[in-house]
Amino acid sequence: MNVDLRFRQIHLDFHTSEHIADIGSQFDPEEFAATLEQAHVNSITCFARCHHGWIYFDTRAFPERRHPHLTRNLLQEQIEACHARDIRVPIYLTVQWDHWTANQHPEWLAVNEHGCILGTPPFEAGFYRELCLNSPYVETFLKPHMREILETLPVDGFFFDIVRPLACACRYCRARMEEQGLDPADGAARKRFGLQTVNRFKRDMTRFVRQFNPDCSIFYNAGHVGPRHRAVVDAYTHLELESLPSGGWGYLDFPIAMRYARNLGVDCMAHTGKFHTSWGDFHSFKNQAALQYECFRMLALGAKCLIGDQLHPAGKIDPHVYRLVGSVYAEVEKKEPWCRGARAVTEIGVFTPEEFYGAAVGGLPPALMGITRMLEESGHQFDVVDSASDLSRYRVVVLPDNIPVSPVLAARLEAYLASDGALLASFESGMDEDKDAFTLKALGVRLKSAGPRDLQGELVRGKPFMRGDYAEYVLPVGAIGQGLPETEHVMYMRGMDVEAEPGAEVLANKVLPYFDRTYQHFCSHRQTPSSGQAGPPAIVQRGRTIYFAHPIFTQYSRNAPRWCKALFLNALGLLLPEPLVRHDGPTTLQVTVNEQAAEHRWVVHLLHYIPERRSQDIDVIEDVIPLYDLKVSVRVPQKVKAVTCVPEEQPADEYIRLPFEWIGDRVEFVVPKLVGHQMVALNFDRT
Ligand SMILES: [Zn+2]
């Protein structure tokens, strides 16, 4: 089952040390709920048990775990006060990080192949040791704990925190692996078994909860949602994308995770924080413009909003924080009618390398980050997909830099191409897993050589060298070079050495340097200049496919050469001459299109906020810089009867209804002024 989430949520952290007295002594239920209501909050996740391991309600089952200085039945009072004002209260509890349990039961901790515990060592501050889900922890403590919550508290939902696959080598995991005929000494087998363990835990826990409560929301958090969630999404009622831009995730994480997660069949929400940096950053404030951008971007990408906060140990809710939250959530509330039931309208599917190589918070695949930036900077409408996605929805699919293609995937892609699809691939994408031949014949290229090796004997292709040791050049000509001077452009990382198959057209050749930079021969500070001598193909087209020999997306994520983006967008233009959206705004403008089928309309979201690397650690947004007279053109499936700026409160405002023109199957209009975020509704005829 899945749930229809609320739009304006808070996650109220409460990891509270036992060395602090009078916990909850200043909590006033009336003040708590009234402050939330005034801030337009309609859901707040509150704590049953924290990473310190302490419980915040009157537990009979585990009195030894009740916070020793808790002055009241805090969670129960929070829930009752909120329910009186129709505010939902999902319940938070930690799973794998629990300091109290880790101290009491070191035998339940996950260990690595050396027998060492994972996470915080003994002489460091922190509760980040990992409990193993194959240990007696689950049956001895976690389920009885859950049972008490389900039997004694009103439960709207559960947020299970820190539920992650571990390649654990503890005695319980070793025994279970042996029972299944697996080899515990094999690291890869332990990793697979770890994933199996966590998926089994989720299904088992969801079944357990359902014995008591048929419809509460259920989510298992691991800080990231990606392809590994597809197989177990049935254990969830919805997805929460934890992604605090200033908390290690950065501004690119959320759009990448959301463009994938929104197609898994359940409602999604996204987390940011009121913190200047990350969770636990007490007495700090996010700049208002940044909070606006982060929340409005959630709406633009189809997610509901959640802002993280932490309650002070004394339990008094901070009115200053909720003035900030309220300033943004008041706007979100007005925008909601144009976001409810929205589904993204997209035409490009971008394969994620995460399916093949994994990913981590702060460690998303560089190629995916590069292409996401290129497509967002140019107003394209796209999803992130994997090999199980329905490709028939897309006009173009892209395999960025390092997507291995198995014979099964090759057959799927060939079938997609045969039914009018188009495909763009780069670098090692389209090769087999060992990367020694192209399995995707549609690309029209053949591997000529593996290319040079460095002094250690490693292949140099696709590797960054600070001084461009193995750089090559591309000479853009004709349509592929539109907007670029017809001269050599450097490709800092060595590309593939390929030949075009008969019937394929070379759109641009490589131009070779005089020599590679080694200790034997080098020139100046960096890469050796062009020799002017033409080399093998750099960009090849065969029918509806275009192949780039260089890792242009990884390169863009490293230092963003504009020519890499221009070459890609020119190639995309050959395959997709009439994109869904065109605009004449700057590259900092973000545009998305959502459909509200029940309302017979599309809603175009225009967002303009500029994160700036203003400090060593994080990107900051402080200002909203307006844009004027933005020309937008949208390819629509049917006649539009009105183009309206929404929401606008003053009916007299001359900008509410925008004049528009028809150019072929495109509707074109000018938005007179954009301050941060503007939605434009394209209302279709109902006939
Ligand atoms: Zn284990």
Residue 452: asked if its preceding bond is cis (omega within 30°), the reply is: no
- Distance between Cα 112 and ligand 1 center (Å): 9
Tens of pLDDT along 433-492?
999 999 999 999 999 999 999 999 999 999 999 999 999 999 999 999 999 999 999 999
- Distance between Cα 171 and ligand 1 center (Å): 7
- Distance between Cα 237 and ligand 1 center (Å): 27
pLDDT at position 1 = 65
pLDDT at position 650 = 56
pLDDT at position 649 = 60
Count of CA atoms in the C-beta half-sphere (13 A) of 435: 14
**How far from 544 is each of 371, 574, 614, 662, CA to CA, in Å?**
20, 9, 43, 29
Q: Which of 246, 251, 244 is nearest to 610 (CA)?
A: 251
Which amino acid does the sequence have at 205? Answer: M
- Distance between Cα 196 and ligand 1 center (Å): 12
Count of CA atoms in the C-beta half-sphere (13 A) of 650: 4
Q: Exposure pattern of 251-267 as b/e (b: 16+ CB <10 Å)? A: bbbbbbbbbbbbbbebb
Q: Exposure pattern of 166-197 as b/e (b: 16+ CB <10 Å)? A: bbbbbebbbebbeeeebebeeeeebeebbbeb
Which residues have CB under 8 Å from 687's CB, separation 6+? none
- How many degrees, rounded to 5, is the angle at CA 324 between CA 285 and CA 331? 135
- Distance between Cα 106 and ligand 1 center (Å): 12
Distance between CA atoms of residues 50 and 200, nearest Å: 23
- Distance between Cα 94 and ligand 1 center (Å): 17
Segments of the chain with pLDDT less than 50: none
Q: Which of 29, 59, 53 is nearest to 104 (CA)?
A: 53
- Distance between Cα 110 and ligand 1 center (Å): 5
What SS3 class is residue 330?
A: helix
Orientation angle between helical segments 29-38 and 74-83, nearest 10 degrees:
50
Length reported for the chain: 687
Distance between CA atoms of residues 20 and 52, nearest Å: 12
Q: Which of 37, 44, 29, 143 is nearest to 90 (CA)?
A: 44
- Distance between Cα 135 and ligand 1 center (Å): 6
- How many degrees, rounded to 5, is the angle at CA 568 between CA 393 and CA 544? 50
Going 212 to 215 to 216 to 222, the CA torsion angle's sign is positive
Going 281 to 283 to 287 to 292, the CA torsion angle's sign is positive
- Distance between Cα 682 and ligand 1 center (Å): 54
- Do 346 and 31 touch, CB atoms closer than 8 A? no
Query: What's the DSSP call for residue 519?
Result: S
Tell me how far apart the 2 most distant CA atoms of the chain are, in Å: 81
- Distance between Cα 271 and ligand 1 center (Å): 30
- Distance between Cα 598 and ligand 1 center (Å): 49
Which residues have CB under 8 Å from 621's CB, separation 6+? 287, 289, 290, 293, 609, 610, 611, 612
Which amino acid does the sequence have at 555? Answer: Q
- Distance between Cα 235 and ligand 1 center (Å): 22
- Distance between Cα 647 and ligand 1 center (Å): 53
- Do 496 and 426 touch, CB atoms closer than 8 A? no
Query: What pTM was computed for the model?
Result: 0.97
pLDDT at position 338 = 97
Distance between CA atoms of residues 282 and 12, nearest Å: 12
Distance between CA atoms of residues 610 and 676, nearest Å: 10
- Distance between Cα 65 and ligand 1 center (Å): 23
pLDDT at position 685 = 87
- Distance between Cα 197 and ligand 1 center (Å): 9
Distance between CA atoms of residues 301 and 121, nearest Å: 40
Burial of 80 (0-12, 13-18, 19+ CB in 10 A): middle
pLDDT at position 654 = 53
- Distance between Cα 461 and ligand 1 center (Å): 39
Distance between CA atoms of residues 90 and 532, nearest Å: 65
- Do 29 and 44 touch, CB atoms closer than 8 A? no
**How far from 151 is each of 235, 424, 687, CA to CA, in Å?**
21, 55, 52
- Distance between Cα 522 and ligand 1 center (Å): 53
pLDDT at position 360 = 85
Burial of 328 (0-12, 13-18, 19+ CB in 10 A): buried
Backbone angles phi, psi at 398, to 5 degrees: -125, 135
- Distance between Cα 145 and ligand 1 center (Å): 21
Q: Residue 661's beta-bridge partner residues? A: 668
Say if strands 640-646 and 677-684 run parallel, antiparallel, or are unpaired: antiparallel
- Distance between Cα 216 and ligand 1 center (Å): 29
- Distance between Cα 187 and ligand 1 center (Å): 13
- Distance between Cα 280 and ligand 1 center (Å): 29
- Distance between Cα 105 and ligand 1 center (Å): 13
- Distance between Cα 133 and ligand 1 center (Å): 7
Burial of 526 (0-12, 13-18, 19+ CB in 10 A): middle
- Distance between Cα 408 and ligand 1 center (Å): 34
- Distance between Cα 562 and ligand 1 center (Å): 48
Distance between CA atoms of residues 255 and 613, nearest Å: 19
